[in-house]
Amino acid sequence: MNRKLVSLVVLLGLVFIIAGCGGKDAEVLDDPTATVTTPTETVPETPVAEDPAPTEVVPSGPTAEDYARMAPQEYGIEDVFFAFDQYALSYEAMRLLEANARIMKEHASLVYVVEGHCDERGTVEYNLALGEKRAQAVREYLVNQGVPASQLRLTSYGEERPFARGSNESAWALNRRAHFSRP
């Protein structure tokens, strides 16, 4: 039993010695005038990029090339609508065409196709002829507003390319129109 007790005491002594060797405690200074310096890591300075002087003025809106790629409706050209079996321009259509003419004159290098459309009522031949008259009425009004005739091309789709599907008055009203596209 003596032997076991001695082994246990030696073992406990070794544990305390090993635990005591863990590290060195920092010195505590009671001097209030002493300054503590801590090592600092040197971080390389990254150069701050200076804004280069502008070499070119960037336009705030679309360029001429942008307009050439855009559909006319993307920059304000609007369709005009007609009454049943009519190609005469309404007051509302004239107002829209005046706004369209201003935009077209600003972009004189662009060519537009004026498409005449009709609703599904009537024969194919009749609607093609009516669509042509609608496109001509729009072209004539735009030319009178100062848009060069060379900037406008005409086509008629009659009832072949409806904007709205359906056999009711609201669909028919949307299909009786002059639509602007690019060639």
CA atoms of 64 and 47, how far apart (whole Å): 39
Q: pLDDT tens digits for 153-168?
A: 999 999 999 999 999 9
pLDDT category at 73 given cuts 50, 70, 90 is confident
Tell me if residue 75 falls in helix, strand or coil: helix
pLDDT category at 77 given cuts 50, 70, 90 is very high
CB 130 within 8 Å of CB 116: yes
pLDDT at site 58: 47
CA atoms of 89 and 156, how far apart (whole Å): 17
Instruction: Tell me the CATH number for domain 66-122+132-181.
Output: 3.30.1330.60
Tell me if residue 98 falls in helix, strand or coil: helix
Comparing 176 with 53, which gets the higher pLDDT?
176
DSSP H helices in 21-119: 64-69, 91-106
Q: pLDDT tens digits for 82-118?
A: 999 999 999 999 999 999 999 999 999 999 999 999 9
CA atoms of 60 and 177, how far apart (whole Å): 33
pTM: 0.63
